[in-house]
Chains A and B, each alone.
Chain A
Amino acid sequence: NAGVMQNPRHLVRRRGQEARLRCSPMKGHSHVYWYRQLPEEGLKFMVYLQKENIIDESGMPKERFSAEFPKEGPSILRIQQVVRGDSAAYFCASSSGTGYDEQYFGPGTRLTVT
């Protein structure tokens, strides 16, 4: 039973380029969460999605960031016109439900903006 898959593991982008981060949840999981970990900090919630729906995007920056979780395929976190401050580790987690259900984390994508 494969765990949560994220790719790429490392991504380097120049300022102004776009970054696309992919997350495939565990089999049978229909809930996906994205978190960002800035250097020397804890994880901060960004967005929570179910298939084809954004449920809570209260942690997403208002501009340049978007997320989707289509009916087929992985969840995508998209960052347009990246800036150096976007450099961070981005983690995806999936669960089979909400509330008390355990979230299983992927290995993360480490984005470096040069």
Chain B
Amino acid sequence: GDSVTQMEGPVTLSEEACLTINCTYTATGYPSLFWYVQYPGEGLQLLLKATKADDKGSNKGFEATYRKETTSFHLEKGSVQVSDSAVYFCALSGSSNTGKLIFGQGTTLQVKP
């Protein structure tokens, strides 16, 4: 079945460092891909998405490119801030066409001043 694998955390960075969180997926067909962010005690917020191969999603300095050949959707940011500290989830909209999301296990990011 469809699945998402993320790099394990926690990831600890200093402010202004570069960020990459790896995400790979397995799916039949052509899923949509998403990154969600969860701040402590809150629900998930959509950070960015891509709906077809080679699309690049971007928001708030974060970006990710839908790579069909490597089945990847890595999250990147050139310069992280303390306020970026959160849990990041990679997800895909599976092949069932009901829209249900399949999530990776989440990666905790800690940014230190």
Contacts and interface: CB of A to CB of B under 8 A. Distances in A.
B98 A103 contact: no
B86 interface: no
Interface in B1-55: 4, 32, 36, 41-46, 49, 51
A103 B105 contact: no
A42 B105 contact: yes
B93 to A, nearest CB: 7
Contacts of A35: 101, 103
Nearest to B32: A100
Given A99-B32, A102-B49, A43 B99 contact: no
Interface residues of B, number: 24
Find the residue from B42, B89, B100 having the highest chain A CB count within 10 A: B100
Contacts, number: 66
A44 B103 contact: yes
Interface residues of A, number: 30
Contact of B100 (A33, A41, A100, A107): A33
Contact of B99 (A42, A44, A103): A103
A5 to B, nearest CB: 11
Contact of A103 (B4, B96, B97, B101): B101
A100 B43 contact: no
Interface of A: 4, 6, 31, 33, 35, 41-45, 48, 55-56, 58-59, 91, 93, 95, 97-108
Interface of B: 4, 32, 36, 41-46, 49, 51, 89, 93, 96-106
Please name the 4 residue pairs, one residue from A and one from B, whose CB atoms are nearest each other, closest first.
A98-B99, A42-B103, A105-B43, A105-B44
